[in-house]
Amino acid sequence: MHQTNKNVHPGRLLLLTRPIALRRHVLQGGIAALTAAALPARPSRAADTLSLVDTVSGANFQVFWHTYLLPTIKQKTGLDLKYTAGSGPPLQLQMESWRDGEPGFSLMFLKDLDLANMVAAGTKFEPLYQARENEIPNQALIRKEYNETDNGVPLHGAGLLFWRAQFGLIHNTKFVTSPPKTWAEWFDRRAEFRDHIGMVRTDANSGGGRAMMYAFLASGGVDFKQPFATIQTSTAWKQGLARFTEFSRSFAQPLASEPPVMFHQFQTEQVWMTSYAQDYSLWSAEQGQLPPTMRSTPLDVNIIGSSNAYLAVPAVDTPQQKADAYKVINLLLSNEVQLHMLETMYQYPGTDAWRNAPESVWQKIAPVDTAQSRGITMTNLDAITFIQKHGMDYVAS
């Protein structure tokens, strides 16, 4: 377990420890080799060359980039995009050494928390929201609140939302024919599902378990808008932790160390249900990595925006790189691309393109407005850090 410097302000823990945002893990196979353990600093080779770094995609979206997005960008804009999978914290450090006209990457596809950390730390981005309305007119299709703030951090135009992450009650309909509609109902029916409720450990690299515990506590009345010191003294927090411990007595054991382990538990039918990311789960089912009878339904409280994806442009890009990046971003925010992502990846668009989706899409997932109306965002970083470090203390063994 990490030892935390007690002199560091809790709000800056994310810059000093391993990321606590939700991370989907790369499954075994050739795509795993794409993930960069470290990001070597390198200038772009030419002014019109675009190189993209991706800190948010898991195996499913790395495949999506290579099989759909990159070819579509080439076809529609004539631009070749060099793709690298990376990690937010080392990228943030690397950006400090970039010089004007020599970015390590000229286009960035960032996890929401990575972007928030970078902006909060003073990392320089080219303003996009409103400042580049003419070059990127499709930004008007995004609800403005997503482009104004990210995890409570004012973005000052630094990023444009590409997708909205969504958790749901992921369940195998072979065993769960009438899924709970609320966390309270799930808790009350826990004996019915005893030893078949899956969860990723709260101290895992993936944040799936942290999101599950956060949502459970919020559904019980914990007000995460309050300072964490206030939350810890509240009755809702103390009772919520006790109820979670009781709930965890019905969990499948051992708890999964990472999502692929939980997916294996689904395949062996040890696990029937969990709270997890709907896009990755349903895509994995279509790839044969989860049973084909998987579905996602919203609970009364669902984590949204736990791993939203943003597009950003480094301020040190050359004028030509910036112009090319704007073309790519506008294409990525088009209805064509956003709807294709929804229909094939079960990922909610960053834009309002979902309103034009065929009815068949909603057979596996809830409509965006239904799911997100019950959604909360994980914005209390001190509470998330506590759950990461101490959450397992409240899981019954």
Residue 194 sits in a domain of what CATH number? 3.40.190.10
- 88 within 8 A of 113, measured Cβ to Cβ: yes
Residues 119, 210: one domain?
no
Alpha-carbon radius of gyration of the chain: 21
**Residues 88 and 149 grouped into a single domain:** yes
Same domain for 322 and 343, yes or no, is yes
Closest by CA to 315, choosing from 99, 117, 153, is 99
Predicted pLDDT of residue 96? 93
Residue pair 300/219 in contact (Cβ under 8 Å)? The answer is yes
User: Does the residue 369 lie in any domain?
Assistant: no
Q: Does residue 14 share a domain with residue 135?
A: yes
pLDDT of residue 374: 76
Q: Give the per-residue pLDDT at 26.
A: 36
At 163 the three-state DSSP class reads strand
User: Where do the H-state alpha helices sit in 50-152?
Assistant: 59-64, 70-77, 88-95, 112-120, 144-148
Same domain as 275, residue 198: yes
Q: How far apart are CA 41 and CA 216, in angstroms?
A: 41
- 54: its two tokens: 């991706």
pLDDT at residue 49 in the model: 63
Number of domains the chain is built from = 2
Q: State residue 321's pLDDT score.
A: 96
What confidence score (pLDDT) does residue 286 get? 86
Burial of 313 (0-12, 13-18, 19+ CB in 10 A): buried
| Bridge partners of residue 53, in order along the sequence | 84, 108
Mean pLDDT, 10 residues at a time, over the chain (397 residues)?
37 34 38 41 50 91 95 95 94 95 96 90 96 96 90 90 91 97 97 98 88 95 96 98 98 95 96 92 89 92 80 96 97 97 92 92 82 78 91 94
Distance of alpha carbon 184 from the chain centroid: 25
Specify the long-range contacts of residues 347-350, CB closer than 8 Å, at least 24 apart.
Answer: 347/61, 347/163, 347/164, 347/165, 347/166, 347/279, 348/163, 348/164, 348/165, 348/166, 348/279, 348/372, 349/163, 349/164, 350/142, 350/146, 350/160, 350/161, 350/162, 350/163, 350/164, 350/308, 350/309
Residues 50 and 157 in one domain: yes
> Domain for residue 342, yes or no?
yes
244 and 319 both lie in a single domain: no
All residues at 6 or more sequence positions from 254 whose CB lies less than 8 Å from its CB, including other chains: none
Give the pLDDT of residue 375.
78
> What pLDDT does residue 318 have?
95
- Based on the fold, state whether residues 191 and 338 are members of the same structural domain: no
The boundaries of the domain holding residue 103 are 10-165+307-362
pLDDT at 31: 39
